[in-house]
Amino acid sequence: MGYSGVRGGQEAIAAAERLVQESRFGGRSAWLELDQITERLGLGVDRVMGEAGLWAPELAARAVRQAHGDLLEAAQLLRAHRSTLPRFGYSLPVGPAELRAVRRVSPAHRNPPGGQVLGRTTDYTPRILDLTPEERARPRRAPGPPGAPAAAPARRPRGDRPDADAGLRAAGLLPDRRTGDDPEPYDITRAPARPGTPRSARLSALARAETGSLTHLWYSCSRAPRPGGHEIPLELRRGRLPLRVAHPHTGRPVTVAGVRVTEARTVRPTARPRPDGTRFDAGYGLCYGENEPKALAMAGLDLLVHRDPHTDRLEQKVLIALDGPEASGFLEHLKLPHYVDFRSTVERVRAVRVGAGAGR
Give residues in contact with another protein (CB under 8 A): 1-3, 5-10, 12-13, 76, 79-80, 82-88, 187, 189-192, 194-196, 313, 316, 320, 325-326, 328-333, 336-341, 343-345, 347-349, 351-352, 355-356
Q: Considering beta carbons, is residue 20 or 191 the nearer one to another protein?
A: 191
Q: Whole-number minimum distance, CB 221 to another protein, in Å?
A: 17
Burial 141-169 (b: 16+ CB within 10 A, else e): eeeeeeeeeeeeeeeebeeebeebbeebe
**What are the contacts of 91-94 at 24+ separation with CB within 8 A?**
91/243, 91/244, 91/245, 92/244, 92/245, 92/246, 92/253, 93/182, 94/241, 94/242, 94/243, 94/244
Q: Considering beta carbons, is residue 79 or 268 the nearer one to another protein?
A: 79
Q: Considering beta carbons, is residue 187 or 308 the nearer one to another protein?
A: 187
Write out the DSSP string of 6-38.
GHHHHHHHHHHHHHHHHHHH-SSSPP--HHHHH
The answer to whether 283 and 304 are in contact (CB under 8 A) is yes
Q: Considering beta carbons, is residue 77 or 117 the nearer one to another protein?
A: 77
Which residues are CB-neighbours of 57 under 8 A, at least 6 positions away?
38, 45, 49
Q: Whole-number minimum distance, CB 358 to another protein, in Å?
A: 12
The answer to whether 235 and 106 are in contact (CB under 8 A) is yes
H/E run at residue 266: strand 253-269
CA atoms within 13 A on the CB side of 185: 16
Backbone dihedral angles phi then psi of residue 237, each to the nearest 5 degrees: -130, 150
Q: Whole-number minimum distance, CB 142 to another protein, in Å?
A: 42
Q: Whole-number minimum distance, CB 257 to another protein, in Å?
A: 18
Q: Whole-number minimum distance, CB 217 to another protein, in Å?
A: 16
Quick count: other Cβ atoms within 10 Å of Cβ 203? 22
Strand order in 280-288's β-sheet?
Answer: 100-105, 232-246, 253-269, 280-288
Q: Whole-number minimum distance, CB 131 to another protein, in Å?
A: 38
The answer to whether 107 and 116 are in contact (CB under 8 A) is no
Q: Whole-number minimum distance, CB 12 to another protein, in Å?
A: 6
Q: Considering beta carbons, is residue 110 or 343 the nearer one to another protein?
A: 343
Write out the DSSP string of 218-233.
HHHHHHS--SS---EE
H/E run at residue 330: helix 324-332
Q: Whole-number minimum distance, CB 196 to another protein, in Å?
A: 7
Q: Whole-number minimum distance, CB 247 to another protein, in Å?
A: 14
Which residues are CB-neighbours of 209 under 8 A, at least 6 positions away?
51, 294, 298, 318, 322, 323, 324
Q: Considering beta carbons, is residue 168 or 201 the nearer one to another protein?
A: 201
Q: Considering beta carbons, is residue 178 or 249 the nearer one to another protein?
A: 249
Q: Whole-number minimum distance, CB 328 to another protein, in Å?
A: 7
Q: Considering beta carbons, is residue 53 or 269 the nearer one to another protein?
A: 53
Q: Considering beta carbons, is residue 170 or 256 the nearer one to another protein?
A: 256
Q: Considering beta carbons, is residue 36 or 311 the nearer one to another protein?
A: 311
